[in-house]
Structures are given as structure tokens and as C-alpha cells.
Amino acid sequence: MAASTSASISVVGTGLALTPPPHHHRHRHRHPPSTISTRFRANRSFLSSSSSLAFSPRRERRPLLKALHHGGLGWQRNKPDAWNHHTFLLGERTCTSCCLASARKRRANLAPGAFLDKSSFPLHSNRLRGVQPPRATVGPDEPHAASTTWPEGIAEKQELGLFDSELVERVEEFLGAELPSHPKLHRGQLKNGLRYLILPNKVPPNRFEAHLEVHAGAIDEEDDEQGIAHMIEHVAFLGSKKREKLLGTGARSNAYTDFHHTVFHIHAPTSTKDDDDLLPCVLDALNEIAFHPKFLSSRIEKERRAILSELQMMNTIEYRVDCQLLQHLHSENKLSKRFPIGLEEQIKKWDADKIRKFHECWYFPANATLYIVGDVDNISKTVYQIEAVFGQTGLDNEKGSVATPSAFGAMASFLVPKLSVGLGGNSIERSANTMDQSKISKKERHAVRPPVKHNWYLPGSSTNLKPPQIFQHELLQNFSINMFCKIPVNKVRTYRDLRNVLMKRIFLSALHFRINTRYKSSNPPFTSVELDHSDSGREGCTVTTLTITAEPKNWQNAIRVAVHEVRRLKEFGVTQGELTRYLDALLKDSEHLAAMIDNVSSVDNLDFIMESDALGHKVMDQRQGHESLLSLAGTVTLDEVNSVGAKVLEFIADFGKPTAPVPAAIVACVPKKFHIEGAGETEFKISSTEITDAIKAGLDYPIQPEPELEVPKELIPSSKLEELKEQRNPTFIPVSPETNATKLHDKETGITRRRLANGIPVNYKISKSETQSGVMRLIVGGGRAAETPESRGSVIVGVRTLSEGGRVGNFSREQVELFCVNHLINCSLESTEEFISMEFRFTLRDNGMRAAFQLLHMVLENSVWLDDAFDRARQLYLSYYRSIPKSLERSTAHKLMVAMLDGDERFIEPTPKSLENLTLQTVKDAVMNQFVGDNMEVSIVGDFTEEEIESCILDYLGTAQATRNFKREQEFYPPSFRSSPSDLLSQEVFLKDTDERACAYIAGPAPNRWGFTVDGKDLLESINNAATINDDGAKSDAPQAGGLQRSLRGHPLFFGITMGLLSEIINSRLFTNVRDSLGLTYDVSFELNLFDRLKLGWYVISVTSTPSKVWAPFLEHSLFLFLLSNSFCSEVSSHIDLQVHKAVDACKNVLRGLHSNKITDRELDRAKRTLLMRHEAEIKSNAYWLGLLAHLQASSVPRKDISCIKDLTFLYDAATIEDIYRAYEQLKVDENSLYSCIGIAGAEAVQDIAAPLVEEEPIDTYPGVIPVGRGLSTMTRPTT
């Protein structure tokens, strides 16, 4: 259960920022990042000194500049998708077998740029989730240490070139001044040493976050305690009775463990239904969890089983790769040996005394920090409540002492950040000999976290070059290599520090763009190239990483090209045009974020502050940060940018030179076999010497300076626009045949509906919640469901082709991307089973909205389809398909979906045979023929005026062509479920692996969101008819179930509401029974996939568990092999005592047991509160409103109307238990309808995973490559 944002420089307020995903309070700690990478995502921002660049001509196009949170320039490594609970009114998704297998996969980060294809990043049910523009966040409460403006006269003198000695002296004085500090963050410390931080924040309103961080983690464990910190987290958290009392109050809680800390967190309303203050109860629960746990044997055994299941769930090939990277990067210290999940053999042995001993050693108030961020304006009252709950803790026993008392004296505690956990070059290593737990009598908190000693790799150091290390595994699909350089964290405290961060951002932005746009062949040498420069609080160092991924056959070329480009930038530097372009973009984004200062969620603020403290960085608010950047912009010169940036790249560009820093490690992760066309699977051979030679080849390749590139200021000149308007006469027409009104405005919701003469319906909402920001989404009906049997895969490959090409009109991809950078536009494309969508995020500054509309118009009218882009897209999906047998989760999900949907390829990955049949013209027609006026819908939400938005709509949407050759009726083949009964209802998948793992999926049919079923029934109509019949059979108009219930049952959203509530109830029961009571799994979840356009849906239960040792001996018996080979897995399963089979049976019992074990009022009330809280928390988000607006005027979703938005909270309140059972009865859970597939991996597996049912050809993560990011998967999962 660990998660830590190993961030980067966390100076808030400058556009150099770290960005955690939006609204982390849901699943926020699954696969947290350990580094920073390009990102323009989230509704907040943080400043950071890290930067990471992702260059991928074949993979997700990661744009140039990340959201400069708090005005910062930083990039953050991909984080988990935090939008699993986006409004259920939306409900779009992508390839379903991937949806099942990728529950914990990261979603691509988005930054200003064009044509990012998200189709291949399958998520859960709600697929067309909007991602908001970045918001800023805040940091420590310290008085302003320095002015944020230049000393008088300096700027003017600089413009005149008057850099005399006096001016230089004044500049140096200014740069050496302390950065200002955030004025609203309150810090304090109790007598027992507990530190607390309080930040008032009203997003979301009437709620708060309370996180208790214990500065003890995996790094503090001794050799025989590996995993014990995580065990304590589980036992303490789930064993708390006071935490359980919060259930039903609307509070949510969780916990996680990492190298350097353990965190317990609760998100709660500020008051109960009776208006009692809830904060004291929350603090009381945290106090019991951390400092007064009961280590009951029953709870320990229960959590031991859960952790062993979690360990196997985590042990994916991605996790093993991350472990390899960390082991080699930190080979000199304990970080290489203390992964938070622990060791299985040790987890099985510990008793209560052993666990209690570790707790007594490390869990004391002076070794903890309490964070409270939320709607808590009364600081004095909050401080009193903290003292009342925690004040006496620890004082009755031995008093704790603080390692650096000077930093937190009576006054100093309010003046400086938590330097006691800051990280620098004087780290210390705690050894078992010197820091034996039995000898710790004063219970001191370490001054440096984590307490390890690093070897620094600096210029001129005498460290010897270590040969490249090779990790080879049969589950790896592609080649990847990481080159690391490790240096001390440079704390950002002064203007000079911030200036260095700014210059690095500019320099590395240029490198990203160059590689991202230069290589456009049909067989590019690499899949992706990323340069990451990031500070890590969890590791206590700054690491620069060059990560290269490629097809195995291209690995040498990929290394050569990447090293060549790095060397070229290091030698020649950025151009004056690049400097001007990226500095301007950073300042624009910083200004944008400063305007959004009041729109940052509490959890984002809190996470940022926590990471900032770990790194020792100064924190500013967004306005201070923007002012700081403005004051520094005039001091930045081309020579200094190139000098500072070159130092970051020396370990690569000067590789082998005696003056260059030596790489801390070079680690290649490679497959054992790879596919060669015409030859099949071939052994992959590689050596350390060959890797070194490939690096040197890149250094020897001739280099030339970068030419300047002309960037268009507009895509559609005013003269061309006037010509289009003259030709096409854009006008508004009546919104619907039932009315003559050309404009429908709903005052309650603020939603306006329009329709253009070319048939395009438009919805918009003016929202001031996100200042000067806007989002727009085009939804096109059809999607993959429109693919014919002769053109399977054409839509998804077509969307990717459009993304890969990136050209519109006469503009090159480079020009389009830079146009987006200059206007801070992010554009992404996506295809699902039902729709194609394009989403734009933009700023209203500098005509950003008009620029976004221009880009949309050009895509609709002047898209350029390229052969080389098509070849890359097709190759990507071919690689993706072939990687399926190397992932247990994906192969299990794939087999299940093929069986349930009767092999319909529109819901799974396109096969090699289908891909081979495609042509450029086929995929172009498949995509563009869906772009018909009345088949499209555009929704816009943002801080614009009515005049501004309607002008854009008429100018750029109204001038688009109206019709194409879309034959929806003739070409549509409705999907269906496999006929029952079937011999494929219960299946198994076996994967040969060095380690044991198991997972399972259970699925069955459901109606769609609007009550239509696959066999043509209209369930909503039948419910309405039934509601008008009296008990004696006579029809009546009287309300039989009361006004509220009758209104719900007659509402088009009846099934959307009741199915959402039912999902919450089933999930709660699965956790209580399968996970908590029976201890059969660590992770189990129920999800509904309810379509909007297609007349079907389904539910899915995913479960991870443990394959017991008892199954291995059976594999040696010929009878067992015969049964497996003849698909009699279900019969065999009954004779093998596998825990995963028990878990599956338990899940089925819960699913089918709702009639025998009736739903209670308390369960329903809790489900209502959960969904309403999510709604209330998101309601100010532009992206959330974008989801609510989806399909409001779509002809293919006729039941969606304005009442589905206006009546949402009312409909939740109206739902009864009877209504939930009406929905439950439509889930097919009988033996002939319920499909299951169990996946088992282990060294004793009988066979490799069988080929997909749809094709006799071999088939981990998109796009067949391992996730990049050091240590991405090593943190433990959330406890619940």
C-alpha cells in the first residue's frame, strides 16, 4: 500500500511543477510514480525542478511542456488514472479485454501538443474521461523573504545593455535572495514532537483531508524485517475501531507504505448530518491507527494473507523491471534491497511481538507529521483540536527528541520548512551495527530521509564505469535501456536556484520536441525516447535518466539515434528561436496557473506540500511563483541556458571521457525471444560490449546545428476565414424538430444548446470555476462498432494514423505542435467501441480558444493522411497484439471477452490478419466517413463569454462541410453475446513464469445505460408499464410508490442511477466478504460497462489471488495435461485446491447472494453518499461538466436530455431498495450466462498461454513495451 510522489523540485508558483493526477482521493496510490515526466493534465499545478521528456514517434505523442504547475517547469512520470469515477452519464470506453487487464495501468501524460492518440490506453468503463487543464497548488507558510520584483532600474538597464559592475553586483544580490513563501500554510509542533501543517482550502467545499505521515518505511527495516513496515500499516489501519466508526459519515480512508514513510489518510466532510464537527473524530481515528493499534493475532493473520496476495498481484514483469533498475541504480545502499512489499518467506514468519517491536521503535509523535488541508478556516480551533487529541500521546512514555531542534523552535517552527527531512549531499547510512533498534533510547527522528548514503556521479569523480547490466526475461516483449546519473538534490530556496530550474526546462523542452518530430520513417529506430531529470524524495537524490525503448531488431539503431540527438543538443545548444518560444510558453502557462489559484483541490495541495518538505524546497503560491518567473525571465541568456543544460547531458554526450560524469548504472531489459517476419520467434542475443559499442556509435555520428523553424501564428488566416463564411454561410437552425427555437438555455444548469445549419449540434456552458480555461470535446458516433467484417481494426488504426501523422493542410507536424505550444493547447484523439472523440484543453489568453477551434476545423476539413504514419500505426497494434501472451492479466481478460462476445474483434485488439488487410484508404474512410454533421456533437465548457463562444462556433464549426458518405444503417452489425449454454463459460489460462501469480475475471451481460438489451427489449418501458398497474390488475395514474420513486422509475436515467448504486453495494460486499472476512484476495472489484449507443452492456469482477503450491504436482500427471489440452479446465479445477478458485467461487456467491442476503437501508445510504460526494467534489470541474454534456443532443442516444443533468441529485435521493433490485434483476448471473477465466502463472505451468481464440498466432502493456519510470511499481497498493 505504498505510494509516494517522488517528485521534483517543488517550488510552487513558477510553472516548474510536479503534477499528481486529478482527484487522487480515488485510487490515488496505485502505481505512484518515482520520477517526473511530461504532463499537461490535472487541475492543479506544482513547481518542480524535475524535467522529463518523452519522445515517441510510434507511441503516445507526449508533448513538449508539461503543465507548469504553480508556474513551474517540471514533468512528471505517468501516474495512475484517477478518473475511474468520472460521471457515469458518460460511459465511454475502449477495447474491453484491455480494460480488464489494465486496471492498474498508467494513463499517458498530456502536455501542450497536438494529436495525442489515447485509443490504445484502455481504461475502465468510463472511457471518454476529460482531463482538466492544470491547476496550481500551495505550500508552506513562511513570511515573504524577498521581493518578487527586480531591484529598481535593473530591468531597464538590462534592456539598454548597461551591465556595469554595479548592475552585476545588484543582480547577484537579487539572485541570492530567498524566494517568497506561501502565506497561508500554518505550521506548528506539539510538546511531544508531533509536527502539524494546516492549510485552509475550499476545493472541494465542506470537506477536508487529514493525512498522518509516519517517517518510517521500508528503509528502516533490518535484514529480518523486510516488509514489516507495510505489515504494520495494514494491521494498524484495518484494525482500528475508531476508523470503522467513520463509515457512513461520508468519509473515505486509506493508507500506503514507501521507502521513507507510511501515510494514513482520511478524506471527510467537515460536519456530520447533525452538524457536529467531524474533525475531532477523524483525528481520533488517526491517533489510534498510528500510536495505539491493537496487534490482535486474528487481524495479523488476516492481513498476512492479504499481503501475500498483494505481493503476488504486484509481481508483474513491470514490477520486476523496476526492481532491477533500483537495484543497480542504488547498489551501494539499502534502497536496492528494501522494497516496501517485503519478502514472502519473512512475511509468513512474524508474530505479534516482532511486529509490535518495530512499531514501538518507529511510531512516536516526534517521528510523524500531521497534514490538514481543506475547508478549515478557523486555524485556532483546528490547532486546539489537534492538541486535544494528540497532545498527551507519547508523553506518558519516553519523550521523543527532534534531531534538528533549531529548525522547529518556538518561533522557528513557523518560519522554515521541514529541513529535518530535507535531502542533500551529506546523507548518512544507518547500519544494523550502529543503529540497532534495541539501542535507540531517545527515539530521534532522522535529520535526513531516507537515511542512506549515495555515491554521487559528478564531473571529474574517480568512480569507475560499471559495465551495462542486462535483465533478460521471457515476459518482456521489447528492448529498453536506461542510462542513469545520480547527484545530490539541489534545494530550490533562492531566485538563483529557481533560475537554474527555468533554464533546464527550456533546454530539455527543445530536446523533447526535436526527437519527437524528426523521425518519420515507416520503420523508425525507436519506440520512445525519454530524458528524465528529477528529484526524488523517496530515494533522496536527483536522477537524470535516458530511457530508450525499441523493437528488439532495432535496438542498436535506437541507441545510436538517441545518443546522437543528446550529443547534438549538448554541443550546439538551443537556438534563439527555441529559447524565445519555450520561455514564452512557460510564462504564459505560469500566468494561467496564477489565475487559477483558488481552484486547486485539497489533496493536490497536500501531496505537493508533503513532497516539498521531503526535498527541502521552498513553496510559493501561484501568484508569487508567476511573479518570480517574470522577475527572472529578463536575466535568462542563451549562453547560460546552453551551459546549464549541457551539464545535465554530459554523462551521455561525453560518455567515456575522463572529465565526464560516469553513469551510475546502465541497465538493459530485453526479451529472450523476439518476432521476425517470415522467421517467427528467434532467440534474442545481446552483450554488455555491444551496448557500449552502440553508445559510442552515437557519439561518433556527425552532428549539425538545429535549423530555425517557422511557427504559424494562425492556421486559418482571416482572409481565408472570410472566404469560407461567404461560401458556406454558417448559421444556427432550430435545435430540434419539436421547437422553432434556435437557442435553448437552461438557467439552472447554465447549459446552452445550439445547432448549426450543417447539422452539428453544440452544447456549451460558461463556467468561472477555472479562470481563463476551457475544454472542448468532439464526439463522433460510430467508433469501432462501425467496422465491417472486412475492415476489422480500421477505426482504431485510422485514429492512430491521424495521430501519428499530425499534419493538417500545408502545415507540418512540427509547425502544428509548436502552434499548440505557443497557445497552450492540448489536443488528444481517442477511439472507443461507440465513438471517436477529440478533446482540446486550452487557455482563453492570447486567443487560445480561437486557436483550438482553428485546429478542430483543420482536422475536420484538411487532415493529411500519410503512408508512413499508417505503417507506424499498424506496426504498433501488431506489436500490441503479439504482447498479449506475455501478460497474465491481458491474456486472461482477452480470452474471457473473446468467449463472452463470440469472438467479435471490435471489442478486442485487431489481429495480425485483420491488420494485414487494411490499407491507408480503408482506415481513412473508416474514420472520416463518420464525421457527418448530425453524427457529430461538440461540447465546450470554460471561462468565456457568450459572444466569444458563439463567434468561434459559427466561424470554425459552421464553416465545416456537412455531409460525407457515412452509411450507418447499411453497414452496422450489432454485437451479441455468445449463445448459451457454451463450453467456454469457464476457462483457464496458464503462463510460464519464474514466479507464481494468479488472477481471474468474471463477467456477464447487462443492459445499456438507458435500459436497452442486446435482444431488443426496452426495460424502461416495461418498468413504466408495470408502475401503472394496481394490485388488482387495474391501470391507474395514481403514484403507487410515492412521487419520488415514481419519478425515478419513469426517468430515462433510471438504469444509470440504479446500476451505479448497485455497483457500489456489490463492491462493498466483495471487499467485506472475499477480502476481509475470507482473506482470499487482496484486490477485488466490480465494474459495470454500460454503453450509450450500443444496446448492451456487461459487468466484470476482477480478482487477484494466490495459486497454492498444491497445483504444481498435478502438472506432472499425463491425465492432467490431457484434460487441459481438451479444454476441460473447469472439471479439473474442482479437484485442485487453488486459492484463486475459492476466490472466484466466493465472488460468484456474493454476486448471486443479493436475494438471500437482502440489501439494507444502511448499504443503500452509504452508496448514495459515496456517489453524491463524488458528484459534489467534481461539480466545479470543467472536465466533469464536459462529461455531463456528452450526448445531450446525440441522435444515437435519444433518451439523454437536460433532466439527466438537472435531476441527478434528486434521482439518487429517490432510489429505493426495490429500485436497486429492479436493476439487479437485469444482470445475468445464472450458470448459463456468467463467464469466468482464471489466469495462473508459475514456473511449473504446463504450457505457455494458448493463442487467442480468434487466430492461431501469438499475441503487457501498451504498446508492447514495459512502462518507463524508475521504481514505478515498487510502492505498495492502497490498503483498501
Catalytic residues: 233, 303
Residue 444 and residue 1003: Cα distance in Å, rounded?
Answer: 52
Helices 495-518 and 165-175, axial angle in degrees (round to 10): 90
Q: CA separation (Å) from 1024 to 1027, 1042, 1046? A: 5, 14, 9
Cβ-based neighbour number of residue 147 at 10 Å? 13
List residues bridging with 863 in a β-sheet: 808
Question: Is residue 1264 exposed (0-12), middle (13-18) or buried (19+ Cβ within 10 Å)?
Answer: buried
Q: At what angle do helices 794-805 and 920-928 cross, to 10 degrees?
A: 100
In 3D space, the residue among 599, 576, 556, 852 whose CA is nearest the CA of residue 690 turns out to be 556
Report yes or no: 574 and 639 within 8 Å, Cβ to Cβ: no
Q: All 3 cell numbers of residue 484?
A: 542513469
Can you list the pairs that 1013-1018 forms with residues at least 24 positions away whose Cβ atoms lie under 8 Å? 1013/1095, 1013/1096, 1013/1226, 1014/974, 1014/975, 1014/976, 1014/977, 1014/1095, 1014/1096, 1016/1095
Q: What share of the chain is helix, strand, coil (3-state, %, to 5)?
A: 40, 15, 45
Task: With H, G, I as helix, E, B as strand and everything else as coil, classify residue 978.
Answer: coil
φ, ψ (nearest 5 deg) of residue 1119: -60, -45
Handedness of CA 118, 123, 128, 134 (dihedral sign): negative
Closest listed residue to residue 610, CA positions, set 214, 200, 220, 254: 214
Q: How far is residue 1111's CA from residue 377's CA, in Å, rounded to a whole number?
A: 59
The dihedrals phi and psi of 708, each to the nearest 5 degrees, come to -70, 150
Phi then psi dihedrals of residue 343, to 5 deg: -110, 135
Q: How many CB atoms sit inside 10 A of residue 146's CB?
A: 16
Name the one residue in this structure whose C-alpha cell is 504553480.
Answer: 70
Rounded distance between C-alpha atoms, residue 904 and residue 899, angstroms? 9
The Cα 1066–Cα 1223 span in angstroms is: 12
Tell me which residue of 414, 413, 411, 488 sits closest to 448, measured CA to CA.
488
- DSSP secondary structure of 438-501: GG--S-PPPSSSS---PPP--TT--PPPPPPEEEEETT--SEEEEEEEEE------BHHHHHHH
938 strand-pairing partners: 762, 778
